[in-house]
Amino acid sequence: MQQADIIIKNGTILTLDSDNSIVENGFLCIRGDSISKIGPGNPTLFKAEKIIDAGGGLILPGLVNCHTHAAMSLFRGLADDLPLMEWLNNYIFPAESKMDAEFVYTGTLLALAEMIMSGTTTFCDMYLFADQVAKAARKAGVRCLVGEVLYDFPSPNYGPVEKGLEYTESLIQKWRNDPLVSIAVEPHSLFTCSPKLLTASNELALKYNVPLIIHVAETLTEVDEIKEKYGKTPVKHLDSLGLLGPHLIADHCVHLEDADIKTMAANGVNVVHNPESNMKLASGIAPVPQMLSQGLTVGLGTDGCASNNNLDLFSEMDTAAKLHKVNTFDPTVMDALSVLKMATVHGARVLGLQDVTGSLEVGKKADVIVIDTHKPHLTPMYNATSHLVYAARGSDVSHSIINGQPVMEDRKLLTLDITEIMARARETSIRVRSWLSF
Amino acid sequence: MQQADIIIKNGTILTLDSDNSIVENGFLCIRGDSISKIGPGNPTLFKAEKIIDAGGGLILPGLVNCHTHAAMSLFRGLADDLPLMEWLNNYIFPAESKMDAEFVYTGTLLALAEMIMSGTTTFCDMYLFADQVAKAARKAGVRCLVGEVLYDFPSPNYGPVEKGLEYTESLIQKWRNDPLVSIAVEPHSLFTCSPKLLTASNELALKYNVPLIIHVAETLTEVDEIKEKYGKTPVKHLDSLGLLGPHLIADHCVHLEDADIKTMAANGVNVVHNPESNMKLASGIAPVPQMLSQGLTVGLGTDGCASNNNLDLFSEMDTAAKLHKVNTFDPTVMDALSVLKMATVHGARVLGLQDVTGSLEVGKKADVIVIDTHKPHLTPMYNATSHLVYAARGSDVSHSIINGQPVMEDRKLLTLDITEIMARARETSIRVRSWLSF
């Protein structure tokens, strides 16, 4: 008998490996933080302290949320259905100017509870007080790539503009070698960051070999502004500054010209698609099928809760698959498997974590979720991939293991006290109301 | 002390009445099949056998699914991401040709379990073996408007074309005066029904004062075909046959000209919007904001599970709200309240059930659901309506009462044995595979 720490058995395993192998009625062994065995049938040659029976459900890699602002969970439903500038100027910016470390820690914990409970095991964050985001993720046991948002105005966290990169560098050094937390350099956007800040950000990212993350071409207004100011599209502006490369993660990319897509593909840029946020803010529909056909790697993100309003990647997959069909009048684009890959293995690749997570393969870290399919809306099951994209909800995730550590069993969170977190979130919402006087 | 049969207390009540009144921390009393009292605070002057504590959650009218083909739950995930004609000709039509009463009864029960568990208390169905649909709804205790699909080919249910109206008339007579089941006359579409069948259908509907339901302008192909054949748009074709009126429920209405919308509004036609199905089948985006601005009443539907792939109206509300924002580049259209009304009070109006259901008002039938908001993704709560549309999921519904009868408590179904239904659904799926030889 071979020893494992955890065995998950009695489920259909969607590996999302390079062959998209599916093991019907299989088992998966975890040893330490890694996957040690995947096989068909019963694990008769293996023993473990902990055995999780998937009950005939689905076993798959934990989902990868490639773009969010986790602590904005505390702004969920604060203001909807408004023109963008009214939303930003009257709600989001005033509230963010009052923000403190405690707010970000509480809001991130709340988001982490929601993410675990809807199957996300890795997330990429851009927000203020990024050290608090990392701490919260560490407490929850969730894998992440986080960074401090940088822009050309003073920050309630690090103060004057010139301190932003110093703060980011200190984060990189502090969290280096952490098993769960990675740090990125994160200038906010082309319209909030000077070429100088962008170039310095890029140099820092290259110096430490960490990702550079930025919002790109999210709205037409932004594109017009950049063209007006620099005489070129946002992508060409990035190119002229030397920022394009496989270390760059470009969020949104809603408004691209064909030449932009080609340039990004030629430079190996990674893209994050956030369909629900782009829809709710009326930003537009990103040309994802064209990006995929040009060979770009595209991951999926929920964006922050103020523009979605949830962190459920199952819902995001469903929307992504459908939105591009209706947008192109072609029901065959963005098929279920392509979308599931965006939310798993391709998402991991976007974040530079392709050797760590995103698929179930021996030697990779054990980031695994189990879906309970014994429910009316998942019965019968002709096709597991279709069910995951078009029928399942975040609430169907029964178990989650990250880096070999169980973080949820039978929908009970093991690393977070949600009653306490929700109480703190409600208290914080009273502060937010007072900031905005409503 | 006044006697009630059921009291629901300790929740925020969204009445969806004509003032959209919200009662913070209120209670609702049910006497027999009807709502007898709605008030603030604790129900100190009322007593009841059964008291449901909403736990600080939301109390709202049960949702109205204005268009589905319930038994297609047994085809969920059977075939996705295919060109429309391949999907229909190689999967749906061959399977439907083998269909029998047992299939429809089982599939409808499965759909009913899913609908109850995601907050739907009234649904409108169009399918084969409609008597089985009505029987299943009666067993589940779910309110419905159902009808037998009529078209110009033989039916596996009623046989030759000319028997369809006879069968429908027998249904009308059989279910007349039923407290939950109403019958409609349901010719399939303009491209599957001759003018003769359409006119006869309309006469039958008018004779019995029941709704006439038909798919209209779902795809561009259909519009082109009708224009080619009759020299006019589908709506003008309906108009010329005398079918337009407040008794008509037009499903989809994706491809309308401005004049069509005006004509429909002038005739008081009711519309059902099915955004997820229209997206998944790449049919197009219905001009809902224009319809609303012309005064049309628009309800929301999921369509069948083969083109969605679920019956969750919470997801449908979310998608409806977002899709039109991105389609019009206007984040203020289809605000949360407008969409919630489509899924409740306006949906009831579309089905002609405005005096029965769709809002919480004294004297209306007690069709009530409770949402458990004590969850990370619904915390904090600044705005209940926003939460329902943008953040809640069907799985957040904890209780459901229909016509005064509890059908779900703490997510346990009271009228259906889901274990047995799922077992029968799995057996039926084996038959489906054999029909399609895969």
Q: CATH number of the domain that B406 lies in? A: 2.30.40.10
**Residue of A285, A357, A394, A283 whose CA lies nearest to A15:** A357
Residue B88 in contact with partner chain A when CB distance is under 8 A = no
Closest partner residue to B110 (CB to CB) among A312, A379, A429 is A379
- Of the candidates A45, A41, A33, the one whose C-alpha atom is nearest the C-alpha of residue A6 is A33
Pick from B33, B39, B64, B56: which is nearest to B345 by CA?
B64
CB contact under 8 A, B278 and A74: no
User: CB distance B309–A391 less than 8 Å?
Assistant: yes
Environment class of B18 (CB within 10 Å of its CB; exposed 0-12, middle 13-18, buried 19+) = exposed
Q: What is the pLDDT of residue A46?
A: 95
The 8-class DSSP code of residue B357 comes to S
Q: B376 and A308 in contact by Cβ < 8 A?
A: no
Quote the tokens at residue A141. 């046991």
B102 domain residue, yes or no: yes
Q: Which of B312, B329, B376 comes nearest A282 by C-beta?
A: B329
**Is the peptide bond prior to B20 cis by the omega test (within 30 degrees of 0)?**
no
Assigned domain for A231 exists: yes
Q: Which of A170-179, B77-86, B118-127 has the lowest mean pLDDT?
A: B77-86
Helix axes B313-328, A313-328, angle to 10 degrees: 50
- My answer on whether B158 and B82 are in the same domain is yes
Closest CA to B283 of B259, B261, B308: B308
From B327, B350, B373, the end of a domain falls on B350
Q: pLDDT at residue B293 above 90?
A: yes
**pLDDT score, position A77:** 95
Determine contact, residues A405/A141, Cβ cutoff 8 Å.
yes
* B280 and B157 assigned to the same domain: yes
Q: What is the 3-state secondary structure (H, E, C) of A32-94?
A: CCEEEEEEECCCCCEEEEEEEECCCCEEEECEEEEEECHHHHHHCCCCCCCCHHHHHHHHHHH
Same domain, B342 and B393: no
Same domain, A113 and A146: yes
Contacts of residue B77 in chain A, CB cutoff 8 Å? 381-383, 386-387, 390-391
Whether A418 is covered by a domain: the verdict is no
Are B27 and B71 within 8 A, CB to CB? no
Residue B1 pLDDT greater than 90, yes or no = no
Count other Cβ atoms within 10 Å, centred on residue A66: 31
Max Cα separation, chain B? 68
**Residues B197 and B280 reside in one and the same domain:** yes
Phi–psi pair at A205, nearest 5 degrees: -60, -45
Q: Tell me the Cα Rg of chain A.
A: 21
Give the residue among A130, A155, A121, A116 at the shortest CA–CA distance from A71. A130
At B84 the pLDDT is 81
The reply to whether A262 and A395 lie within a common domain is no
Chain B CA closest to residue A323? B279
Chain B residues touching residue A114 (CB < 8 angstroms): 376-377
pLDDT at B199: 98
Is B229 exposed, middle or buried (CB count within 10 Å of its CB: 0-12, 13-18, 19+)? Answer: exposed
193-232 in chain B: CB under 8 A from chain A: 220
Alpha-carbon gap: B23 to the closest alpha carbon of chain A (Å)? 19
Peptide bond into A40 cis (omega under 30): no
Please give the Cα distance from B60 to B382 (Å, whole number). 17
Cβ pair A85, A76 in contact under 8 A = no
Last residue of a domain, one of A298, A322, A350: A350
Residue where the block lists tokens 């985001």: A133
Q: B381: distance to nearest CA of chain A, Å?
A: 7
Q: B327 lies in a domain?
A: yes
**pLDDT tens per residue across span B245-288:** 999 999 999 999 999 999 999 999 999 999 999 999 999 999 99
Banded pLDDT at B55 (limits 50, 70, 90): very high
Phi/psi class of residue B41: alpha, beta or left (left: φ > 0; alpha: ψ in -120 to 50)?
left
Domain tally, chain B: 2
Range of the domain at A149: 63-350
- Whats the size of chain A, residue-wise? 438
Q: Is A321 on the interface with B (CB under 8 A)?
A: yes
Cα B248 versus chain centre, distance: 15
Same domain, A140 and A19: no
Burial of B227 per CB tally in 10 Å (0-12, 13-18, 19+): middle
Nearest to B326 among A80, A282, A418 (CB): A282
Q: Is B138 part of the contact surface with chain A (CB cutoff 8 Å)?
A: no
* Polymer length in residues for chain B: 438
CATH code for the domain in which residue B90 is found: 3.20.20.140
Dist CA A334 CA A323 (whole Å): 9
CA distance B87 to B67: 20
Is there a contact between A282 and B330 if contact means CB atoms under 8 Å apart?
Answer: yes
Residues of A in contact with B331 (CB under 8 A): 81-84, 87, 280-282
Looking at the structure, tell me whether residues A38 and A72 fall in a common domain: no
Task: Classify residue A150 as left (phi > 0), alpha (psi -120 to 50) or beta.
Answer: beta
User: Considering the domain boundaries, does residue B426 fall inside one?
Assistant: no
Classify residue B104: in a domain, yes or no.
Answer: yes
- Nearest-Cα distance to chain A for B109, in Å, is 10
Q: How far is CA A92 from each of CA A75, A149, A191, A301, B326, rounded to the nearest angstrom?
A: 8, 15, 17, 20, 21
Tens digit of pLDDT per residue, chain A (438 long)? 899 999 999 999 999 999 999 999 999 999 999 999 999 999 999 999 999 999 999 999 999 999 999 999 999 999 999 988 888 889 998 999 999 999 999 999 999 999 999 999 999 999 999 999 999 999 999 999 999 999 999 999 999 999 999 999 999 999 999 999 999 999 999 999 999 999 999 999 999 999 999 999 999 999 999 999 999 999 999 999 999 999 999 999 999 999 999 999 999 999 999 999 999 999 999 999 999 999 999 999 999 999 999 999 999 999 999 999 999 999 999 999 999 999 999 999 999 999 999 999 999 999 999 999 999 999 999 999 999 999 999 999 999 999 999 999 999 999 999 999 999 999 999 999 999 887
3-state secondary structure of A359: coil
What pLDDT score was predicted for residue B85? 85
- Name the packing angle between helices A195-208 and A164-175 (round to 10°): 20
Closest-CA residue to B248 (of B373, B351, B117, B370): B351
Q: Among residues 108-137 of chain B, which lie with CB inside 8 Å of chain A?
A: 110-111, 113-114, 117-118
B56 touches chain A (CB under 8 A): no
Residues A322, B84: C-beta atoms closer than 8 Å: no
Which residues of B fall within a CB distance of 8 Å from A332? 81-83
Q: For residues A235 and A159, state if they share a domain.
A: yes
| Statement to judge: residues A8 and A135 lie in one domain | no
Mean pLDDT value across chain B? 97
Give yes or no: residues A233 and A296 share one domain.
yes
Nearest CA in chain B to A321: B280
Q: Would the pLDDT of B438 be above 80?
A: no
User: If you search the block for the tokens 């359409």, which residue do you land on?
Assistant: B198
In angstroms, what separates the C-alpha of B27 from chain A's closest C-alpha?
Answer: 23
Question: Residue type for A428, please?
Answer: T
- B433 found inside a domain: no
Residue A338 maps to a domain:
yes
Provide the sign of the torsion angle of the four alpha carbons B132, B135, B137, B139, taken in this order: negative
Instruction: Return the exposure string of B316-355: e unless at least 16 CB atoms fall within 10 Å of the residue's CB, then b.
Output: bbbbbbbbbbbbbeebebbbbbbbbbbbbbbbbbbbbbbe
B377 and A312 within 8 Å at the Cβ level: the answer is yes
Of B128, B120, B68, B67, whose CA–CA distance to B96 is shortest?
B128
Q: Are residues B23 and B115 in the same domain?
A: no
Say what the pLDDT of residue B83 is. Answer: 86
DSSP bridge partners of A229: none
User: Using CB atoms within 10 A of its CB, is residue A406 exposed (0-12), middle (13-18) or buried (19+)?
Assistant: buried
Interface contact A90, partner B, CB < 8 A = no
A309 to chain B, any CB pair closer than 8 A? The answer is yes
